[in-house]
Amino acid sequence: MHIDWWTLALQAINVLILVWLLSRFLFRPVMGAIAARQAAADALLADAQTAKDAAAAEAAALKAQNDGFAAEADRRRREMQAGIEAERARLLDQAKGEAAALAQQASAASAAERTRMKADLEEKAAALAGRIAEKLLGRLPVAGTTDILFTALLDRVRALPANDRRKLANDTPLTVATPGPVEDEARDRYVRDLEAVLPGIGIPRFAVDPALIAGFELRGPHMQVRNSWRADLDEVLAKLGEDDHARIG
């Protein structure tokens, strides 16, 4: 086999020229385009990673915000529940207090009504007792007690302070009240005895007052001295009333 070295050298030179041409006008632009596309892809990947990281961060922020909202909602729910429970307890206590107050008021009103009814009954009983006593005393003969009661009246007048006796003597017109008419002889005697204890009394007037039952009363415009069964009965009834009020109080 014969090798043509010139032909082989020319072919080698052609190959080198072709490789140089390809490397200069084809490989470099292609490699540049590939590099540019690789850089663009890397940039896109970087942007995508940045966007992904931002989305992840935003998602984390939203989750944290949602967790915060949930925690706040739970806290407010607990506070609201606690407030409702406290208000319910307060209203329940208030209702119990009002019920207790109403019960106490009702009990007090009932006790006051019972006390009032008791006092009313005792007052009516005392009044009835007074009317019975007045009726019974009215049946007794007063002739035997007249002088005794007049003597007791004089003793009451003597027991007055001197200043009060002077006022009574000057308290004109002075009336001698009796339960029935007085005979002239007895009237003159009564006037003399009154003048002895009340100097300057003058002549008193005599008046009939059957309500006295028995006894005498000296009545002036400003003063009076009572000594009669009516006065004693009124005093007893008043004392009973005072005792009843003291027991009620």
Considering the domain boundaries, does residue 119 fall inside one? no
Using the predicted structure, report yes or no on whether residue 25 has a pLDDT greater than 80: no
* Cα distance between residue 116 and residue 122, in whole Å: 10
Structural domains in the chain (count):
2
**Tens-digit pLDDT profile for residues 156-192:** 999 999 899 889 888 888 999 988 888 888 899 999 9
CB 228 within 8 A of CB 212: yes
**Tens-digit pLDDT profile for residues 97-122:** 887 787 788 777 777 776 666 556 55
CATH of the domain at 194: 3.30.2320
* Cα distance between residue 38 and residue 40, in whole Å: 5
Judgement on whether residues 96 and 166 belong to the same structural domain of the protein: no
Question: What range does the domain containing 96 cover?
Answer: 1-113
**Tens-digit pLDDT profile for residues 129-160:** 445 545 544 544 555 567 788 888 899 999 99
Peptide bond into 173 cis (omega under 30): yes
Judgement on whether residues 109 and 188 belong to the same structural domain of the protein: no
Considering the domain boundaries, does residue 170 fall inside one? yes
